[in-house]
């Protein structure tokens, strides 16, 4: 685009980095929170603050719940347009029943998929979900939003914009742009090794922001690259649905061949059959793993073609001790319990793929690595944020002279997406403590209220950001930053205090009993409050300083 290659790369880095950086802030921040999503669930749903349990008895506890489950109103509403005519009242033909447990989650997630008899595409399925206390079999009330795993986590990978997968596409494109920003950043940054440890906070804001941007970007470069890349790998089937469009014939041929080879029937036989003791099958699976020298817990249990003669039960090992996701599945004939197949060791390519996706999805049990992941994710967020700060700093005086408002607009967006996002997160957690257990009639459900309050407070923070960045149009520091930092400090203390008041689980108690999911969340919020206060104080000092007279020029190549 420009005659100079480096110049073009710098232009790309600046402008696409700016545009998609706003989205990537959300992706990185909520991705960092998602490392501890299930712990956040415990904070948000006090009834579930007990220790993780192993998979309970299928025969005694889970089977009755599965038989009783039905899709809820939201699932029905989503599926209705995919059918000819009205949906049946009850869905009786279950394609699959699945139960999933992790070493971090005390509650058990159950899901079932059903055939939709009058669907336009016969492959359409409708899903039902239940959350169960594995100690007793009690169902969790449906309206308890798992703020971590059911909101922050989906926000991270799809912005919770599910209509036609638009959110997935936006995040996917941002991920590709993240890779672009990393490569162009390296191309632009000539002194990448010499300046590896360089941070000069006493120089101009432009210089120190650029130093921090480079530091946070380079220091965790492999992390940033691999997370963006593996994120794309995980949803590759959405971005490039080649085998469900152009290569469908090849895909279908493979499925048929595979089910002949594995002995796992592809379709129902249409003949009803009972289900033998699944507990016995699980015990046999565990015996076989132990015999191979890899004893382990059950991570995932799945029944396919439920209630049919072709039905089979698949038992997968929980992969807590390595990066690769649950593997070594063992499959049994559902009606008799006879062994159908032990999955062979994976191929080299399969191992690579499982390593890549496992690295991102983190099913492993390793607290140090998880916290290092949070460090990496927050470094990424810091890299993006400092990039935005640098952009504004570099241009605001020039724009003020020219009477142009570009820098002001970007600063308002930056406030919204950096401090505003933190405000919204804390407001949601506070709402979680303040809302009544059951909303009064006519009001949206409690979980929906929490989401509305999240988006509403973010919007309010955005409005405040716009109003209080007017100073940038005159080349000065916006008061919005300090004001939102103060708000964060107050909110981040309020949330743990409310946790104490409404549940009695104050820090002395949670730390003493070693209940780290809640203690960790409270401590993290209090630490954030301290940082926010420090930031507010620094910003006040900076605002009191006289305006810098000379315009700092940096090396060419910084667009």
Helix pair 221-234, 205-219: axis angle to 10 deg: 60
Q: Is 251 in the site for another protein (CB under 8 A)?
A: yes
User: Phi first, then psi: what are they for 317, rounded to 5°?
Assistant: -80, 140
Q: Is 254 in the site for another protein (CB under 8 A)?
A: yes
User: Phi first, then psi: what are they for 131, rounded to 5°?
Assistant: -115, 135
Q: Is 179 in the site for another protein (CB under 8 A)?
A: yes
Q: Which of 246, 277, 402, 513 is the binder for another protein (CB under 8 A)?
A: 246
CB of 312 to another protein, least distance (A): 19
Closest CA to 379 of 182, 148, 149, 160: 182
Q: Is 323 in the site for another protein (CB under 8 A)?
A: yes
Measured from the Cβ of residue 259, the count of other Cβ atoms closer than 10 Å reads: 14
Considering all CA atoms of the chain, what is the largest pairwise distance in Å, rounded to the nearest integer? 84
Q: Helix or strand or coil: residue 557?
A: coil
Closest CA to 379 of 141, 213, 256: 213
Is the distance from CB of 454 to CB of 427 less than 8 angstroms? yes
CB of 350 to another protein, least distance (A): 6
Q: Which of 152, 373, 389, 458 is the binder for another protein (CB under 8 A)?
A: 373
Q: Is 2 in the site for another protein (CB under 8 A)?
A: yes
- Stretch 6-65 residues interacting with another protein (CB under 8 A): 7-9, 11-12
Q: Which of 53, 243, 286, 405 is the binder for another protein (CB under 8 A)?
A: 243
Helix pair 205-219, 367-402: axis angle to 10 deg: 150
- Stretch 333-372 residues interacting with another protein (CB under 8 A): 347, 349-350, 352-353, 355-356, 358-359, 364, 366, 368-369, 372
Q: Which of 68, 120, 142, 240 is the binder for another protein (CB under 8 A)?
A: 240
CB of 189 to another protein, least distance (A): 15
Q: Is 3 in the site for another protein (CB under 8 A)?
A: yes
Q: Is 404 in the site for another protein (CB under 8 A)?
A: no
Q: Is 233 in the site for another protein (CB under 8 A)?
A: yes
CA 467 to CA 527: how far, in whole Å? 29
CA 129 to CA 72: how far, in whole Å? 8
Q: Is 73 in the site for another protein (CB under 8 A)?
A: no
Q: Is 258 in the site for another protein (CB under 8 A)?
A: yes
Q: Is 541 in the site for another protein (CB under 8 A)?
A: no
Tokens representing 261? 């080879």
H/E stretch holding 338 reads none
Side-chain-side CA neighbours of residue 321 (13 Å): 5
CA 515 to CA 388: how far, in whole Å? 38
DSSP structure string for 358-399: HHHH--S--HHHHHHHHHHHHHHHHHHHHHHHHHHHHHHHHH
CB of 410 to another protein, least distance (A): 18
Q: Which CB atom, from 20 or from 282, has the smaller least distance to another protein?
A: 20
x/- mask, another protein, residues 192-231, rule CB under 8 A, reads --x-xxxxxx-------------xx--xx-xx-----x--
Q: Is 250 in the site for another protein (CB under 8 A)?
A: yes
Q: Which of 45, 65, 132, 232 is the binder for another protein (CB under 8 A)?
A: 232
CB of 232 to another protein, least distance (A): 5
Is the distance from CB of 214 to CB of 206 less than 8 angstroms? no
Task: Give contact residues for another protein (rule: CB under 8 A).
Answer: 1-5, 7-9, 11-12, 173, 176, 179-180, 183-184, 194, 196-201, 215-216, 219-220, 222-223, 229, 232-233, 236, 240, 242-243, 246-247, 249-251, 253-254, 258, 321-324, 347, 349-350, 352-353, 355-356, 358-359, 364, 366, 368-369, 372-373, 375-376, 379
């Amino acid at each position: 685009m420009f005659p100079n290659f480096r110049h073009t790369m710098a232009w790309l880095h600046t402008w696409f980095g700016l545009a998609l950086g706003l989205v990537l802030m959300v992706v990185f921040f909520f991705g960092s929170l998602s490392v501890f999503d299930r712990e956040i669930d415990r904070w948000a749903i006090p009834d579930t603050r007990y220790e993780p349990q192993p998979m309970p008895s299928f025969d005694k506890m889970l089977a009755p719940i599965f038989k009783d489950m039905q899709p809820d109103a939201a699932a029905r509403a989503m599926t209705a347009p995919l059918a000819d005519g009205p949906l049946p009242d009850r869905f009786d033909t279950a394609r699959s029943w699945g139960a999933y447990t992790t070493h971090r989650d005390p509650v058990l997630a159950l899901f079932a998929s059903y055939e939709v008899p009058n669907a336009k595409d016969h492959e359409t399925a409708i899903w039902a979900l239940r959350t169960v206390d594995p100690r007793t079999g009690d169902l969790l009330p449906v309206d308890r939003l798992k703020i971590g795993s059911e909101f922050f986590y989906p926000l991270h990978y799809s912005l919770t914009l599910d209509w036609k997968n638009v959110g997935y596409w936006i995040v996917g494109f941002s991920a590709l742009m993240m890779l672009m920003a990393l490569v162009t950043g390296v191309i632009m940054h000539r002194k990448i090794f010499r300046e590896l440890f360089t941070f000069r906070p006493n120089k101009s804001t432009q210089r120190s922001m650029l130093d921090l941007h480079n530091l946070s970007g380079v220091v965790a470069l492999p992390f940033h690259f691999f997370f963006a890349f593996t994120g794309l790998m995980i949803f590759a089937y959405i971005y490039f649905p080649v085998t469900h469009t152009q290569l469908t014939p090849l895909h279908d041929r493979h499925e048929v061949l595979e089910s002949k080879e594995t002995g796992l029937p592809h379709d129902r036989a249409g003949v009803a059959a009972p289900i033998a003791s699944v507990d016995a099958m699980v015990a046999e699976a565990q015996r076989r793993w132990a015999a191979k020298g890899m004893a382990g817990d059950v991570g995932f249990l799945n029944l396919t073609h439920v209630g049919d003669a072709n039905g089979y039960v698949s038992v997968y090992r929980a992969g807590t001790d390595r990066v690769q996701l649950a593997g070594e599945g063992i499959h049994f004939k559902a009606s008799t319990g006879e062994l159908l197949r032990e999955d062979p060791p994976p191929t080299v390519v399969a191992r690579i793929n499982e390593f890549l996706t496992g690295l991102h999805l983190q099913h492993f049990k390793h607290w140090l690595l998880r916290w290092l992941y949070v460090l990496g994710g927050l470094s990424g967020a810091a890299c993006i944020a400092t990039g935005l700060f640098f952009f504004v700093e570099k241009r605001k005086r020039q724009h003020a002279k020219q009477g142009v408002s570009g820098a002001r607009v970007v600063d308002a967006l930056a406030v919204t997406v950096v401090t505003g996002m933190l405000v919204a997160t804390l407001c949601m957690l506070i709402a979680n403590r303040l809302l009544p257990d059951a909303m009064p009639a006519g009001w949206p459900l409690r979980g929906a209220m929490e989401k509305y309050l999240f988006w509403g407070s973010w919007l309010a923070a955005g409005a405040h950001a716009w109003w209080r960045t007017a100073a940038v149009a005159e080349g000065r520091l916006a008061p919005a930053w300090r004001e939102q930092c103060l708000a964060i400090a107050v909110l981040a203390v309020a949330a743990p205090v409310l946790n104490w008041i409404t549940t009695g689980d104050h820090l002395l108690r949670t730390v003493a009993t070693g209940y780290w999911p809640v203690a960790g969340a409270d401590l993290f919020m209090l630490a954030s409050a301290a940082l926010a206060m420090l930031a507010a104080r620094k910003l006040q000092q900076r605002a009191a300083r006289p305006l810098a007279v000379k315009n700092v020029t940096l090396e060419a190549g910084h667009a």
